[in-house]
Structure 1
Amino acid sequence: MSAAAKALSSERRQQVLKWLVDPIANFPPQHTGNLVKDGVCVGFIADKLGIAQPSATSQMKILQEAGLVTPTRIAQWTFYKRDEAGIKKALSELSALLN
């Protein structure tokens, strides 16, 4: 649970997870990769957060290590989408800790 708690301690990472609930509404169309099937290009995430791409990659790596997002590599780009099973598991673990 500590990895998920650490990942969720950042408002930026919380915001990314919220945006990824509906990537079509929150991000522009991509030339490569499907927003829903493949995920959102880390460059778009960086732009929306207003940070450099390496910083966005670091933020997404924390979410990935916590099991909250999954990456897909297409050519030289990495796309991220929510890992709903991982999110459900983290919520269950958090609930067990608090009850």
Structure 2
Amino acid sequence: MTTRTGSQADVKQLLDVFKALANPVRLQVLQWLREPARHFPVERAIADPVEVGVCVTHIREKAGLAQSTVSAYMAELQRAGLVRATRVGKWTYYQRDEARIAELVATLGRSL
């Protein structure tokens, strides 16, 4: 069913994003990832935080949460299409998916 405010797929997509961002820690992490070199220890990174992303270990340290909690939070942000994950050896790096975020903002604009 398509409504004036957008398709059901658009609505589901936005609900997934809102659920992911409803948690203050996930929202904070997404904000940190906007400027990774400013918020995470670049000198300890084995990959470029701008090009590859930030290691989940660094996110865990900054957030002060258990590894499993941070991994679950990052998986939720990834399912919502807000971040992308990249494996480098045994580590997982996350970065914002700026193109996807722009699409979601456009969808929000069409839907509200």
Q: Does the residue aligned with 1:37 lie in a helix, a strand or coil?
A: coil
RMSD: 1.0
Q: Is the 8 A contact 2:17 2:81 kept in 1?
A: yes
| Residue 104 of structure 2 corresponds to residue 85 of structure 1 | no
TM-score normalized with structure 2 length: 0.83
Gaps of 5+ in 1: none
| Counterpart residue type for residue 55 of structure 1 | T
Q: Is the 8 A contact 2:45 2:55 kept in 1?
A: no
Structure number with larger C-alpha Rg: 2
Gaps of 5+ in 2: 1-13
| Residue 61 of structure 2 corresponds to residue 41 of structure 1 | no
Partner deviation per Cα, 1:42-96 (whole Å, 9 max, x = no partner): 0110111110111101000000001100000000000000000111111122222
| Residue 25 of structure 2 corresponds to residue 12 of structure 1 | yes
Partner deviation per Cα, 1:6-50 (whole Å, 9 max, x = no partner): 111111111111111110010002342111111000011011111
Q: 1:47 to 1:91 in 2, by over 3 A?
A: same
| Residue 41 of structure 2 corresponds to residue 28 of structure 1 | yes
Q: 67-76 or 8-17: which moved more? A: 8-17
Aligned pair count reads 98
TM-score normalized with structure 1 length: 0.93
